[in-house]
Amino acid sequence: MRKTSLAQGNTPASESTDRKRLQMADIARLGGVSVATVSRALSGSTLVNAETRERIQQLAQSLNYSINLGAQNLRLQKNLTVGVVVPYDAQSRQHISDPFFLSIIGSIADALTDHGYDMLLSRVDSERLDAASQLYDSGKVIGVIIIGQWRHHDQLNQLAARNMPLVVWGGELPQQLYCSVGGDNRNGGEQATAHLLRAGRQRIAFLGDAALPEVWLRREGYLRAHAAVGLTPSPELEIAVPFEPDAAHPILERLCASGVAFDGVVACSDLLAIHMVQALRARGRSVPGDVGVVGYDDMPLAAFCEPTLTTVHQPVLEAGAELVAALLQLLNGVRALPRTLPVHIVVRASAP
Amino acid sequence: MRKTSLAQGNTPASESTDRKRLQMADIARLGGVSVATVSRALSGSTLVNAETRERIQQLAQSLNYSINLGAQNLRLQKNLTVGVVVPYDAQSRQHISDPFFLSIIGSIADALTDHGYDMLLSRVDSERLDAASQLYDSGKVIGVIIIGQWRHHDQLNQLAARNMPLVVWGGELPQQLYCSVGGDNRNGGEQATAHLLRAGRQRIAFLGDAALPEVWLRREGYLRAHAAVGLTPSPELEIAVPFEPDAAHPILERLCASGVAFDGVVACSDLLAIHMVQALRARGRSVPGDVGVVGYDDMPLAAFCEPTLTTVHQPVLEAGAELVAALLQLLNGVRALPRTLPVHIVVRASAP
DNA sequence: ATGAAAGCGCTAACAC
DNA sequence: GTGTTAGCGCTTTCAT
């Protein structure tokens, strides 16, 4: 055990060069006071003489000293770091790339910053969402925001049951123990579908993996919109497509080649919509002439694609704010109810 | 001072409900051994009896116990968290929204995850990049990656001088004390400009804020490409435009309305390029007919815009990996040299 | 108004 | 092989 109580000893191992970090004992020595006084001075305590306080603060500042937050947190049992978990697809080891995901991360970062929290960005296997608990159990973060429910509503429920503060971006499901915040997927799916039906389209394909709750809900909207006009869509029009473009593309091409007839498409992301347009045009079918395509998310570039995308707008900025607000509630021991944010269709060229 | 050495006391304040966190003492008590043994067992030490080790590990696992990393880090003087700083524009308080930025965050997240590091995402005022040092001084992170140099090469140099492990995404500048990783901006600007010149365009506008080093370098390429064919671009063709679309748009419109003649545009981001196309078309000028437009970044959607964008491709995935690799080098006490990654133009419809 | 000392949850040197 | 104990950098009670 090293004896030097002052931070003079070279930091061992790992920190190879002499990156000795300044600590309170150093400030105390230099200021000719005790660590206790430094601690009080830096926290602005009135217990310490105003003149001394001032002097110590200056000293610390001039040396770029910052209180070691690890130690402070340990002592104070506090922590201002929130974990934001972005699942990745284990099979494809796909990178975070969907513009919508990235936007929402940005908006969460902003909201957390506004409230003085730090954001620890973490990736976990989408099949093991419960791995997120490690962040919490190890005390690294005080709560977690997970982007998307993926296929594991069950795991999310278990996490919440362990009473880890948790908010999930996704759909509101029956018997849900965790707090979710999400767009109104059912209504979004319905609006998208109804829009196509109103335009006289009859055979509308649905692109998305209904094993994901959000997609499942959109599909319900899709069915409901059909029912509202006395139709039942043919099952062959429901195509299970993952969100990852690379994995999705061949499936879309197969669909176009399959001979299954359709004149409308409801895609569960703008990215899917764009790839669908590509696949269709590659086989000589026009959009929106032969087929009307509606996307989902209204990503920033949706208005600049070719064709400009008709799509269901999700309120990204509000999403970040709401996710964070809900988590803060939980941290205050207040029960946070799931929240469904309104969505609306934006009509552009891909499905006028 | 609370006396209970076992974690039975309710956690005070902030944690309102009884979210008492399990700790080593609890496992020790339940396992009928000392904390030291638990510590050794969980670290897989062979000093402890194999059977006991096994038993303690099971016990901990079954209770979802995870070692408190704050305490462990304090004791071990280690830390596996890297700060990733995304500056924001103070005036506009713009959100992170440029797809290129978001992509690079994603690629850094992946690279850090691959190396077992956590990523703390933090936003700072782009006029106070030196605020990033607080992350380091407070021991929250062991090193920092800053996205972009913005207007403060000087502040970055100061940070590096304090010998904080720092890597910056941006251009390589003379007298640079910090390690930068970036695309070859000079060459990128040159390729973009040369491409337009080759197509017979004569008056080429340059869109970007040359106060930013990366833009400055691209502008050098722009000038060099002109020089190579014996031209000197008119100064009125250099337009100082910020990256933020909302701030940029009016400037672009003013340019189009100004009567300044031009038949080509080199934009410093794809987003700017797209907005430029909009502004031009709004005034009845065609792209690429009347004006050829080249973007920068080759964001994922560049191939799907209208018109599809001719643009300078930046290697995003490689960028994340290189940034992280450089930081790891620094952490190992190895000097990391600035690195300039090759870029190449991708020719699409906006400037064939 | 200031300092000495205990302890936040953990690890490791030193006993036995 | 296991327990006892000191101490990582900080805050706060208690004594002065």
Is residue A348 one of the residues assigned to a domain? no
The CA-CA-CA angle for residues A137, A142, A146, to 5°, reads: 85
A288: pLDDT strictly greater than 50: yes
Asked if residue A48 keeps its beta carbon closer than 7 A to nucleic acid strand C, the reply is yes
Q: Quick: pLDDT tens for A335-352.
A: 999 999 999 999 999 999
Q: Which bases of chain C come closer than 7 Å to a protein CB? A: 1-13
Looking at the structure, do residues B307 and B328 belong to the same domain, yes or no? no
Q: pLDDT tens, B230-276?
A: 999 999 999 999 998 889 999 999 999 999 999 999 999 999 999 99
The contacts of residue A54 (CB under 8 Å, 6+ apart) are: none
CATH at B27? 1.10.260.40
Q: Is residue B228 part of a domain?
A: yes
Q: Same domain, yes or no, for A273 and A292?
A: yes
Helix ranges restricted to H, chain B: 24-31, 35-42, 50-62, 69-76, 99-114, 133-137, 153-161, 185-198, 213-228, 245-257, 270-282, 316-331
Residues A176 and A324 in one domain: yes
In this structure, is residue A216 part of a structural domain?
yes
Question: Residue A253 class from Cβ within 10 Å (0-12 exposed, 13-18 middle, 19+ buried)?
Answer: middle
Tell me the sheet residues that pair with A344. A313
- In this predicted structure, what is the pLDDT of residue B96? 64
Q: pLDDT digit string (tens) for B175-198? A: 899 999 999 999 999 999 999 999
- d(C-alpha A255, C-alpha B233), whole Å: 51
Q: How far is Cα B166 from Cα B152, in angstroms, rounded to an integer?
A: 14
B178/B110 same-domain check:
yes
Provide the pLDDT for residue A93: 64
Pick from A64, A118, A162: which is nearest to B137 by CB? Answer: A64
CB contact under 8 A, B74 and A70: yes
Domain that holds residue B111: 81-183+316-342
Q: State yes or no: pLDDT of A103 exceeds 80.
A: yes
B8 CB-to-strand C distance under 7 Å:
no
The 10 Å Cβ neighbour count of residue A226 is: 17
In a domain, A352, yes or no: no
For residue A217, tell me if it sits in a domain: yes
Mean pLDDT of chain B: 92
Residues of A in contact with B15 (CB under 8 A): 77, 333
Residues on chain B touching A106 (C-beta within 8 angstroms):
95-97, 102
A221: closest CA of chain B, how far (Å): 28
pLDDT at B166 over 50: yes
Residue A225 shares a structural domain with residue A143: no
Query: Can you give the length of chain A in residues?
Result: 352
Same domain, B88 and B201: no
Q: Is residue B6 part of a domain?
A: no
Cβ of B40 near strand D (distance < 7 A): yes
CATH classification at residue A249: 3.40.50.2300
**What is the predicted pLDDT for the residue at A14?**
38
Q: Is the CB of B14 under 7 A from strand D?
A: no
B334 φ/ψ angles, rounded to the nearest 5 degrees:
-95, 135
Q: Are residues B193 and B284 in the same domain?
A: yes
Check whether residue B164 and residue B103 sit in a common domain. yes
Q: What is the pLDDT of residue A90?
A: 78
A115 shares a domain with A215? no
Chain D positions within 7 A of any protein Cβ atom are: 1-13
Residue A4 lies in a domain: no
Question: Is there a contact between A119 and B121 if contact means CB atoms under 8 Å apart?
Answer: yes
> What percentage of chain B carries pLDDT values higher than 90?
86
The answer to whether position A3 is within a domain reads no
Q: Mean pLDDT for chain A?
A: 92
Say yes or no: A227 and A298 in one domain: yes
pTM of the model: 0.92
Domain identity same for B176 and B191: no
Counting the structural domains of chain B, the total is 3
> Is the CB of A30 within 7 Å of strand D?
no
The arithmetic mean of pLDDT across residues A55-79, rounded, is 96
Q: Same domain for A21 and A41?
A: yes
| Residue-level pLDDT at B15 | 40
**Chain A residue with minimum CA distance to B131:** A64
- Nearest protein residue by Cα to C1' of nucleotide D8: B75
Q: Per DSSP, what are the bridge partners of residue A206?
A: A238, A266
